[in-house]
Amino acid sequence: MSESQLARLNRAHSSIRGRAGAPCEVAIMLGSGLGQLADAVSDAIAIPYAEIDGFPVSTAPGHKGQLVIGELFGRRVVMMQGRLHLYEGWTPRDIALPVYLLKRLGSRTLLVTNAAGGLNAAYAPGDVMLIEDHLNFTGVSPLVGPNDDAIGLRFPDMSRAYDPDLLKLAVEAAERAGVTVQRGIYTGVLGPALETSAERRFFRASGGDAVGMSTVTEVVASAHAALPVIGISAITNAATGGPDQQPDTIEEVFANAAVCGRKIEAILRELLPALPA
């Protein structure tokens, strides 16, 4: 019989409890090309994923694979510098485990960032999109299988997966920071192959504004754990699937992610102090 998710969580937490220090207030999950945001954390404690008992280890490019705990813009944060993806071979329950650990470390808000292609023709590479909702086209859920009632409800509500009050705070923070942002729907896919042009047109017709290979699994787990979420996408490439669609390169993605990273850091500088205590 496989180990329960609660047992895995307890084991992971016990292995780092003595190193994590005081409880954290805000958890931040960094997407592809956005790992440099961890450099802004002061008095940082870095814990490699490999040193957390039973914890999956990132293998994707641009994902360093460590927890960074410290002070950021006046709040105590725990940052995942490197996330996990289904396309790496991890199960949905593997990807949910870090979310539960972030909450166990004291977090009361989860800020999820990702790199995404712009399905919406009005978006340009380098834009930042605040996520209002998502479409899960991965075909999987981290909640399939036995439920751990100590973690969350069997049937969590997803109608406000991205907290509307926190979204309002993020919009206001962007205005104070002087950063123009888009607001839209994130489409999550399995990967690792990028989408065909026909798929991109279909996702856009389905209501998606951006597409990527992460986030939805973690946000489902966050709803399960009653951990409020703010979602931010870095638009790193045009993905309209139209007749002028150009091939995508990882170099382009990382270059535009760096542009977005500076904008996201400016937003966080205003947003973190405004988050609920």
Instruction: Give mean pLDDT, residues 85-95.
Output: 95
φ/ψ of 181, rounded to 5, equals -125, 155
Q: Name the residue with tokens 């927890």.
A: 67
5-274 maps to CATH 2.40.128.50: no
Contact assessment for residue 111 and residue 26, using Cβ atoms and an 8 Å cutoff: yes
DSSP state of 150: T
pLDDT digits (tens, 9 = 90+) for 95-109: 999 999 999 999 999
Residue 1 has pLDDT above 60, yes or no: no
Two tokens, residue 35: 């790992």
Share of the chain above pLDDT 90, in %: 85
Percent of the chain whose pLDDT exceeds 70 = 97
Q: Mean pLDDT across the stretch 199-211?
A: 98
* pLDDT value, residue 60: 64
Residue of 2 and 72 predicted with greater confidence: 72
- CA separation for the pair 212, 56 (Å, rounded): 20
pLDDT digits (tens, 9 = 90+) for 154-185: 999 999 999 999 999 999 999 999 999 999 99
The set of residues, in sequence order, having a beta carbon less than 8 Å from that of 158 and lying 6+ positions away, is: 220, 223
Contacts (Cβ under 8 Å, ≥6 apart) of 195? 117, 189, 203, 211, 239, 241
CA terminus-to-terminus distance, the chain: 40
| Dihedral angle over CA of 140, 226, 37, 30, nearest 10 | -10
Rounded Cα distance, 43 and 25, in Å: 15
Coil/strand/helix, residue 163 = coil
Instruction: Give 21-43 pLDDT, tens digit per residue.
Output: 899 999 999 987 677 888 889 99
Length of the chain: 277
**Is the pLDDT at 275 greater than 90, yes or no?**
yes
Cβ-proximal residues to 93 (8 Å cutoff; 6+ apart), any chain = 5, 142, 145
pLDDT band at 121 (very low <50, low <70, confident <90, very high): very high
Give the orientation angle of helix 5-20 with respect to helix 92-104, to 10 degrees. 40
Domain positions in the chain are 5-274
Token pair belonging to 216: 């939805």
